[in-house]
Amino acid sequence: MTNKSNIAKLILKNCVGCGACVEYCPKSAIPDSLIGFISSLAKINLDKCDGCGKCVEVCSHRAILLLNHN
């Protein structure tokens, strides 16, 4: 479910760069080209993120939170 009042926030210390979030993001807000290439950490494109929370659900490392950005 899209929630424009929320935005995904990466918790760098928890991210292991597994890439699970990349495949579950319906908006391609987490580019897979960054996983294991430039950095082992995920990066979130905030312009594409629609706050659906799918990345939060799939991250077993608790490296992504949804924050209210209003």
**28 alpha carbon, distance to own chain's centre:** 9
Q: In the chain, how many domains are there? A: 1
pLDDT of residue 38: 46
Q: Tell me the backbone φ, ψ of residue 64, rounded to 5 degrees.
A: -130, 135
Look at residue 62 and tell me if it is in a domain.
yes
Look at residue 1 and tell me if it is in a domain.
no
pLDDT of residue 31: 80
State which residues of the chain have pLDDT below 70: 1-4, 33-42, 70
Which residues partner with 31 through β-bridges? none
Look at residue 47 and tell me if it is in a domain.
yes
pLDDT of residue 15: 85
Residue type, 55: C
Predicted structure pTM score: 0.78
pLDDT of residue 46: 87
Taken in order 23, 28, 62, 6, the sign of the CA dihedral is negative
Look at residue 43 and tell me if it is in a domain.
yes
- The residue range of the domain holding 38 is 6-68
Look at residue 52 and tell me if it is in a domain.
yes
CB 29 within 8 A of CB 63: no
Q: In this structure, what CATH number is given to the domain that contains residue 21?
A: 3.30.70.20
**39 alpha carbon, distance to own chain's centre:** 15
